[in-house]
Copies of this chain bind each other. A is one copy, B any other.
Amino acid sequence: MKSAEIITIGDEILIGQVINTNAAWIGEQLSCIGVAVIQHTTIPDERRDIAKALKTATNNADLIIITGGLGPTKDDITKTALCEFFQKKLVLNDEVAKHVEKLFSRHGTQLLAVNKKQAEVPEGCRILTNNHGTAPGMLFEENNKVYISLPGVPYEMKGIMEEEALPLITEKFNLGAIVHRTILIQGIGESFLAEKIKDWADGLEKKSIGLAYLPSPGLVRLRLTAKGLDRPNLEKKVGIAIDALKPLLPKHIFGEGKTTMAEVLGKLLREKGLSLSVAESCTGGNIAQKLTSIPGSSDYFKGGVVSYSNEIKVGLLRVDAALIEKRGAVSEAVAIEMAKGARDHLKSDLAISTTGVAGPTGGTEEKPVGTVWIGLATTKGIWAKKFQLGENRERNIEVTALTALNLLRLELVNNNL
């Protein structure tokens, strides 16, 4: 199995100002194509340290991926270090120069001398096009080792990896087949999930299928992995395992791979020709933001009201002020009225509402932090459901938003809306 070391350049990471999410992401991608990640190394923005790390990694791994230190400002010395290591000169690359110029002219901004320097690369390297920024990726080969240098800005790095580097690595290392499928699960914690699917999970081992639990707030991703030479056979084997899993979690599995809950729901709404609006109190815009993060969502998402104050609940959603007074803003009755108000006044077919105590303050004995009501107004009725979440504000907001979207998804799938 080919091995990889990931070198991250950046003082800001060493001193903990920035958390190294790049190395984690690259580690995940490499594992997925069957490369063994054997080391992450983070070093300072210093030529000497970069040179030393390159030398050590060369003795360690087959593939060396370097991120960071490729921006237009002068704390970037990676290219000089690469030139020294490979004993090459910096030369102007016409292809990159044109790309940088095009990016700047498109934004109508002026090209500066520092930007022009970005088109200089070590002689003989292969350029990996950066479709999301000016600093190019670079690939070097020497003594059967592959070196890839990438900018540190996450979305630029990810773009180059996905569009250019990963296919090249797979090709150059002649990697065997590896099949991954990731099942997305909402509304059940990792421990309960493990208990519920224990027999199924035990059975995977005999079939040489690897299983990993990847939890995040409100979600668990289950990744199945099979390795071998015969891809169609691996795909079939993993497919059978997934088919056997689905009936065990009818309410929780909402999708697969890189999709999101908002994307899955959006697709359903589009298919059924139904429109949606939201009335958000405790989620404060998080649901709207999730829905509108999907390109083309304006086709089915009408919009929403973030009714953080009771005044807005009354004024825009026409919730009865006396009802809020009597039952409290965090109550079944208010969640129902909010959903109804959104559906009626934002003129949509369906509506979601949320009202709760996200924390850390605002909790009472009767309604402690983490108390949340989610309301749904559909073509078949209006109802609300209570959830008792934890104490972490950020997590409560995220879990509420995902749970609300999943509740609506289940209505669409199961209730024939």
Contact = CB atoms under 8 A, between A and B. Distances in A.
Interface of A: 8, 11-21, 23-31, 37-45, 49, 56, 71-75, 106-109, 112, 114-115, 132, 153, 155, 180, 182, 189-192, 194-195, 210-217, 221, 223, 225, 277-278, 280, 283-289, 291-293, 295-298, 301-309, 311-312, 315-316, 345-347, 359-361, 388, 390-395, 397
A43 B23 CA distance: 12
A119 to B, nearest CB: 14
B12 A28 contact: no
A305 B302 contact: no
A316 to B, nearest CB: 6
Nearest to A360: B295
Contacts of A284: 288-289, 291-293, 297
Contacts of A221: 17
Contacts of A288: 280, 284-285, 288-289, 306, 308
A49 B5 CA distance: 13
Contacts of A41: 39-42
Contacts of A225: 11
B71 A215 contact: yes
A153 B195 contact: no
A39 B38 contact: no
A21 B24 CA distance: 11
Contacts of A8: 40
Contacts of A195: 112, 114
A289 B289 contact: yes
A364 to B, nearest CB: 15
Given A284-B289, A302-B311, 14 more contacts: A8-B40, A11-B212, A14-B38, A14-B40, A16-B26, A38-B43, A72-B194, A112-B192, A114-B194, A155-B217, A288-B289, A305-B305, A305-B316, A316-B345
A105 to B, nearest CB: 12
28 contacts: A8-B40, A12-B223, A14-B38, A14-B39, A15-B180, A16-B37, A17-B214, A17-B223, A19-B21, A20-B23, A39-B49, A71-B190, A72-B194, A112-B191, A112-B192, A278-B306, A284-B292, A285-B285, A285-B291, A286-B289, A288-B306, A288-B308, A289-B289, A292-B306, A296-B361, A302-B312, A303-B309, A303-B312
Contacts of A115: 191
Nearest to A395: B155
Contacts of A285: 280, 285-289, 291-292, 304, 306
A114 B191 contact: yes
A73 B27 contact: no
A133 to B, nearest CB: 10
Nearest to A311: B347
Given A40-B41, A214-B18, A293 B394 contact: yes
A194 B74 contact: yes
Of the candidates A13, A216, A297, the one having the most CB atoms from chain B within 10 angstroms of its own CB is A13
Contact of A56 (B56, B155, B214, B287): B56
